[in-house]
């Protein structure tokens, strides 16, 4: 990840005069800005040489004037522009970016937007500074990313614990990191996060969750699937239907891929459908229970009930009722 490379350079005291951090993944932008605010300068130097602006309140002229100052009693100063996407006339920073002071480290956080790559401003940013465009991590990349984050803390995590954490939180990297931090504080001397830890400290039931629901459906275990849905009904925040349906669709999409993979070898299947070998048996089992036609039918039903969940061709049906109806049709 490019942001990690930037922070690694900063730790080595290697700086460029301008950093423009844009795009849809706020986590990586926040990570760089937080490091710049608290770690580039010492506490004493920061009192004189750290300037922080917010796009909604600051003008481009205020920011440029700050950037043009020379550092006091230090080698460099840091100027942060947070929420830069809210600044009016931000493109007027172009003149400064074209001729920046080397003693100023100017960092712009431009969230959920991108500068138009066809403009002169974008070209100047690329030539004179560092332009990083962040992207959301795909759902199938979340387990690997989360595993790496856990390992960076000197910890391990059980495969099922990892699946519970990712399935419950989804693509919210800030929350994943916060939950891992909370768990690590409570681990004591232990070094491995278990599913019991996820249940206790994150609040995910290890028995009644989306992961267990898809496992029950994959085995056509209707009683267990209904029990899990009833738990969801009694605990609406545990697994809203907007979380359940995409997860089930992802599960059956992978089962569908197995039918065309041309191999039943665990490692070959895991590589073909993009999962860890630990869980491949669940998918292979489902592929035996659901043949090509019934898997295709399951995907069509999921699409149909996704529409029903937002009110299309369904009036007044609750989420639990829709899930029960869906599961019965898929299993029967």
Q: What is the DSSP track for 140-166?
A: GGHHHHHHHHHHHTT-EE-HHHHHHHH
For residue 1, what pLDDT is reported? 53
Tokens 């019965």: give the residue: 328
pLDDT at 239 over 70: yes
CA distance 108 to 114: 12
Residue 146 · residue 166 · CB < 8 Å: yes
Domains and CATH numbers, the chain: 2-134 (3.40.50.300), 139-202 (1.10.8.60), 210-331 (1.20.272.10)
DSSP 3-state assignment of 66?
A: helix
Local structure of 173: helix, strand or coil:
helix
pTM of the model: 0.79
- How far apart CA 101 and CA 63 sit, in angstroms, is 13
Kindly tell me the sign of the dihedral angle through the C-alpha atoms of 52, 15, 65, 122.
negative
Give 201-226 pLDDT, tens digit per residue.
998 888 999 989 999 999 999 999 99
Nearest to 27 by CA among 114, 107, 135: 135
313: which residues sit within 8 A by CB, 6+ positions away? 307
* Residue 285 pLDDT greater than 70, yes or no: yes
* Angle at alpha carbon of residue 172, lines to 167 and 173, rounded to 5°: 105
pLDDT for 264: 77
Task: Work out the mean pLDDT of the chain and round it to a whole number.
Answer: 92
221 token code pair: 């275990």
The secondary structure element, H or E, covering residue 332 is none
pLDDT at 206: 87
Strand spans (E) along the chain = 18-23, 50-54, 77-82, 104-111, 130-134, 156-157, 192-193
Query: What average pLDDT does range 2-7 have in this prediction?
Result: 92
Mean per-residue pLDDT for 154-169?
91
Q: Return the top range by mean pLDDT from 115-119, 139-143, 285-289.
A: 285-289
Q: How many CB atoms lie within 10 A of CB 306?
A: 18
Buried residues in 92-127 as b, exposed as e (16+ CB within 10 A): ebbebbeebbebbbbbbbbbeeebeeeeebbebbee
CA distances from 186 to 157, 162, 201, 205, 272 (A): 14, 17, 8, 18, 37
Mean per-residue pLDDT, 107-131: 93
| pLDDT surpasses 90 at 192 | yes
């Amino acid at each position: 990840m490019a942001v990690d490379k930037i922070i690694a350079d900063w730790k080595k005291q290697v700086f460029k005069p301008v950093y423009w951090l844009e795009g849809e993944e706020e986590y990586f932008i926040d990570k760089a800005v937080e490091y710049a605010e608290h770690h580039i300068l010492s506490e004493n130097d920061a009192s004189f040489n750290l300037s922080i602006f917010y796009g909604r309140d600051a003008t481009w002229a205020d920011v440029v004037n700050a950037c043009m100052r020379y550092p006091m009693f230090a080698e460099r100063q840091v100027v942060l522009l947070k929420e830069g996407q809210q600044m009016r006339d931000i493109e007027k920073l172009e003149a400064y970016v074209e001729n920046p002071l080397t003693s100023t480290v100017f960092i712009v956080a431009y969230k959920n937007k991108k500068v138009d790559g066809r403009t002169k401003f974008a070209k100047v940013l690329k030539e004179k500074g560092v332009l990083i465009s962040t992207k959301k991590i795909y759902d199938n990349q979340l387990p690997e990313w989360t595993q790496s984050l856990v390992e960076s803390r000197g910890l391990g995590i059980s495969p099922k614990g990892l699946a519970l954490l990712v399935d419950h939180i989804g693509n919210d990297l800030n929350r994943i990191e916060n939950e891992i931090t909370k768990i690590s504080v409570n681990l004591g001397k232990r070094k491995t996060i278990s599913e019991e830890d996820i249940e206790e400290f994150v609040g995910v039931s290890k028995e009644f969750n989306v992961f267990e629901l898809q496992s029950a459906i994959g085995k056509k275990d209707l009683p267990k699937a209904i029990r899990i849905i009833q738990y969801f009904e009694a605990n609406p925040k545990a697994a809203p239907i907007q979380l359940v349906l995409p997860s089930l669709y992802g599960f059956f999409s992978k089962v569908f891929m197995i039918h065309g993979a041309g191999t039943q070898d665990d490692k070959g299947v895991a590589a073909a459908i993009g999962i860890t070998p630990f869980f491949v048996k669940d998918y292979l089992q489902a592929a035996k229970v659901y043949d090509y036609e019934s898997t295709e039918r399951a995907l069509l039903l999921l699409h149909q009930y996704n529409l029903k969940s937002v009110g299309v061709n369904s009036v007044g049906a609750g989420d639990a009722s829709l899930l029960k109806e869906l599961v019965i049709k898929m299993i029967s």
